């Protein structure tokens, strides 16, 4: 089976770029130019959230027309959504939280996945099941960098993609933590720029976000 991630990179979503854009698309027609702008700016991983009816079509369009993009599905909360996202061509899955049924479905998909956690007990439960890479959500509301820093000592085997309330000002602080591979955010895809089709602006914002690797991020 073909690897869902580029063979030239490590086999982890957390290692593709310092920032994973979290994208909400009302019109699937915007998906391809948006993904091209993000890739041109240095952000190949694109998380399309399942918050709009057109999300599966957007995933399908990016998967079919933007070969340099690694398109994933976010806000995955049911096994049925896992199946639909795999059929649409998603190459990774992200959930805001997890249940045993959802975890089983994501694992069975064969795709890389990041189940969401916000407590130490959830992290330990996932480690017990062999999952070491997770989404920390909602990052700022759940304790931010101080919380993640406190987890690094007792649970060094867990790695995170913090998402929720993170902008360019505080992203480098997250990226400097040893247990953070990348962060998720939407600041490089502002709704007004998407609505206006201002792909040049999005490319500029993406390029600045990609440069956060040099602003203190580890993103290993």
Q: Which residues are catalytic?
A: 47, 135
φ, ψ dihedrals at 22, nearest 5°: -100, 110
Task: Please count the CA atoms within 13 angstroms of the CA of 194 that sit on its side-chain side.
Answer: 21
Task: Please count the CA atoms within 13 angstroms of the CA of 150 that sit on its side-chain side.
Answer: 9
DSSP the chain: ---SS-TTS-S-GGGS-SEEEEE--S-GGGHHHHHHHHHHTT--EEEEETTSTTHHHHHHHHHHH-TT-EEEEES--SHHHHHHHHHHT-S-EE-SS--HHHHHHHHHTTS-EE-EE-SHHHHHHHHHTT--EEEETTTTTTTHHHHHHHHHTT-TT-EEEEBSS--TTTHHHHHTSTTB--EEE-TTS-HHHHHHT-HHHHHHHHHHHHGGGGGT----
């Amino acid at each position: 089976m073909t690897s869902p991630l580029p063979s030239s990179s490590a086999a982890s979503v957390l290692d593709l770029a310092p920032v994973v854009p979290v994208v909400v698309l009302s019109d699937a027609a915007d998906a391809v130019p948006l993904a091209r702008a993000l890739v041109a700016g240095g952000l190949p991983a694109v998380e399309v959230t399942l918050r709009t009816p057109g999300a599966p079509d957007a995933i399908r369009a990016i998967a079919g027309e933007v070969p340099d993009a690694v398109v994933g599905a976010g806000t995955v909360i049911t096994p049925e959504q896992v199946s639909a996202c795999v059929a649409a061509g998603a190459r990774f899955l992200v959930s805001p939280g997890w249940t045993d049924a959802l975890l089983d479905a994501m694992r069975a998909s064969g795709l890389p996945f990041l189940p969401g956690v916000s407590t130490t007990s959830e992290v330990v439960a996932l480690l017990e099941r062999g999952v070491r890479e997770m989404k920390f959500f909602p990052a700022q509301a759940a304790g931010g960098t101080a919380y993640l820093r406190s987890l690094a000592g007792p649970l060094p085997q867990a790695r995170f993609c913090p998402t929720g309330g993170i902008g360019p000002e505080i992203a480098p602080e997250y990226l400097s933590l040893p247990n953070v591979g990348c962060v998720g955010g939407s600041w490089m895809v502002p709704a007004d720029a998407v609505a206006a089709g201002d792909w040049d602006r999005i490319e500029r914002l993406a390029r600045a976000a990609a440069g956060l690797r040099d602003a203190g991020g580890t993103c290993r």
